[in-house]
Structure 1
């Protein structure tokens, strides 16, 4: 089990090449299955945009580094539309308010924990409303919805908080001590503790997305569309073979078909 603090800013090493190829910048959560599907990696060519690393390509996550088979596992965001879709809809769990099914505001998420083998989110550390200290971990089986604004949980989630996972890892009562003592903790930094810090983190992610969108837009303009794109009610938005222009991109985006466009272009 790994907390996000143990993953973000971790070095990414290529086993085949025996070298550092970047570091983890962000985790992309798939809210439908509650798993981390991709990691965003900042490499030596960061000025071209962040790279996407499928979690399935991760070979191991240690205290010193996260390992992958080779640098070929990193893909540009333009090559990974699934990662783009998650980046645009990705809920940022840390700082998210926690609400029960019956509408009780339970508090906020201070941290969350990922199964290092599957990428599954196994639990979220809850700080109760009006308090500063964490009360315990909400186990994944009590989580109903990973939303952009709220984490919705079962009504009895706060009555069944864990102090540690079934395998004995990551006791909530020792979170601060563990983070302070962990090697590289200072380098990894700390997760947002205040609303201002959460907003700063969200703004940074939004800036990365805006930069990527602009670069992808420039990449797409002048290429040809590989399929005919229609709206949900069947109206043709763009014909197959049409030259992609800024206006065409805007029309497709307004109709909610931008991801479909990015997946079907040709020279």
Structure 2
């Protein structure tokens, strides 16, 4: 098991030629498969085209390098439209908000982990109210550009450490499955019950007007801990702003991603 930071920046070595063909620039995520499909290559000699290595062509990912059989493993993404579309989706996982299907905001991803042999995403590490927990990829419903959507009961299946995402670790520690189902319920309640991280954005039992009123009720009067940007990257509210009804309505009109960012950065 490798985390994304351990792969990004590694030299890429051609075994048959014994040369470095570049460095890993980024990991291209296939949101439908929940896997890393390509590694893009950073090479200063390539000024225009975007080149990459299909993950299935990777021989190994070690501590010091990624190895491929030869330079023939490298492809030009501009020549493969479907693959280029996948790159242009710009799906990322780290630093992305995590929300349940019913709109409960759980936290933010600090890192994600992959099987270095298959490229399959094993899971992610989340920060929730200052605590780090891990969640298996089987609970993910959607890898979105702005938000990752997970199953409603995901909060009941947090793991205490990212090590527990590793299949080999899980084989050696059979009791993990039981720990998943009994993960410190008091802690889960404390984390998910925090008003800063439980702004409901979607609820089938509430109409939209009632939902917006509830958001206003929770956020009104709270002070912002950082500047909040709109969808165009312009400052919408400055740090220290005490939110009014009009401010919250303005954030609602900007869309879910702005409202999520606002709700994650207010004083308790």
**TM class, shorter-length:** 0.5 to 0.7
In structure 1, the partner of 2:139 is 142
1:125 aligns with 2:141: no
What secondary structure is seen at the aligned counterpart in 1 of 2:102? coil
Q: Distance in 1 between matches of 2:66 and 2:134?
A: 25
User: Offset of 1:158 from its aligned partner?
Assistant: 2.2
Q: Output the CA distance in 1 between the equivalents of 2:43 and 2:157.
A: 41
Q: Which has the higher contact order (CA 8 A, sep 6+)?
A: 1
Q: Which residue of 2 aligns with 1:151?
A: 148
Q: Alignment length, in residue pairs?
A: 169
- Give the Cα separation in 1 of the matches to 2:29 and 2:142: 12
5+ unaligned residues in a row in structure 1: which ranges?
A: 170-194, 197-202, 204-267
| Alignment of 1:86 onto 2:86 | yes
1:31-66 per-residue CA deviation (whole Å, 9 max, x = no partner) reads 111111111011242323331110010000000100
CA-based RMSD: 2.0
State the partner residue of 1:48. Answer: 48
- Does the 8 A contact of 1:30 with 1:90 survive in 2? no
Q: CA–CA distance in 1 between the matches of 2:94 and 2:120?
A: 16
What is the distance in 1 between the residues matched to 2:80 and 2:158? 37
What corresponds to 1:100 in structure 2?
Answer: 100
Aligned equivalents of 1:88, 1:48: Cα separation in 2: 15
Partner of 1:69: 69
Secondary structure of the structure 2 residue equivalent to 1:111: strand
Give matches, 1:159-178, under 5 Å: 159-162=156-159, 163=161, 164-165=164-165, 166-168=167-169
The answer to whether the 8 A contact 1:95-1:109 is kept is yes
Measured in 1, the distance between the counterparts of 2:68 and 2:127 equals 34
Aligned to 2:118, what secondary structure does the other structure show?
coil
* Structure-2 separation of matches of 1:137 and 1:2: 14
- C-alpha separation in 1, matches of 2:138 and 2:145: 19
Structure 1 residue 89: Cα displacement = 1.1
Instruction: Find the aligned partners of 2:17 and 2:151 in 1 and give their Cα distance.
Output: 46
Range that drifts further, 72-81 or 10-19:
72-81
| Counterpart contact for 2:97–2:107, Cα < 8 Å | yes
